[in-house]
């Protein structure tokens, strides 16, 4: 899986946005449940490896469990909140760790309508531009 991710990252236009999402596992209910429990930690590790290989201007993460694992994988202590993007979606900067200060937007996984993720990504881009231009 990580080898394929590296291929996709190498082919991504710069600057650009890269999205990573999990898809349901095939198999019986027990197999799917086991895979679902491992997804947040795996996504955290993927983000950590991606940031080790290439600079990014900001991160948008959805889902509380995924946000916790991404922050843990990056060694962050928390988020310095700056603003609410939409109800239950916030933006700020990572606090602590090697990526401290990195613009970070997060929203609950079941929060918002069909354009909520778009609003969060656009907000993260604006934060990244402000961070880069300071």
Residue 19 lies in a domain: no
pLDDT of residue 8: 59
pLDDT over 80 at 6, yes or no: no
Residues of the domain holding 125: 2-9+25-133
Q: List CB contacts of 48: < 8 A, sequence separation 6 or more.
A: 70, 73, 74
Please check whether residue 86 lies inside any domain of the structure. Answer: yes
| Whether 127 contacts 103, CB under 8 Å | yes
Q: Is residue 16 part of a domain?
A: no
User: The pTM is what?
Assistant: 0.80
Number of domains in the chain: 1
Q: What is the pLDDT of residue 97?
A: 95
pLDDT at 105: 94
pLDDT in tens, 14-58: 555 556 656 665 667 777 777 778 889 988 998 998 888 778 889
> Cα separation of 103 and 57, whole Å?
7
Is 20 within a domain?
no
117 lies in a domain?
Answer: yes
- 111 within some domain: yes
């Amino acid at each position: 899986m990580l080898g394929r991710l590296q291929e996709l990252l190498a082919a991504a236009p710069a600057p650009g946005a890269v999205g990573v999402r999990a898809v349901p596992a095939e198999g019986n209910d027990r197999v799917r449940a086991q895979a679902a429990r491992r997804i947040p930690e795996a996504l955290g590790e993927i983000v950590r490896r991606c940031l080790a290989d290439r600079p990014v201007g900001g991160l948008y993460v959805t889902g509380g469990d995924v946000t916790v694992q991404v922050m843990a994988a990056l060694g962050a202590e928390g988020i310095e909140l700056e603003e609410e993007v939409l109800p239950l979606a916030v933006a700020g900067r990572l606090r602590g760790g090697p990526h401290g200060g990195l613009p970070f937007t997060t929203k609950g996984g079941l929060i918002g309508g069909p354009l909520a993720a778009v609003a969060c990504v656009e907000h993260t881009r604006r934060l990244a531009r402000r961070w880069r231009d300071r």
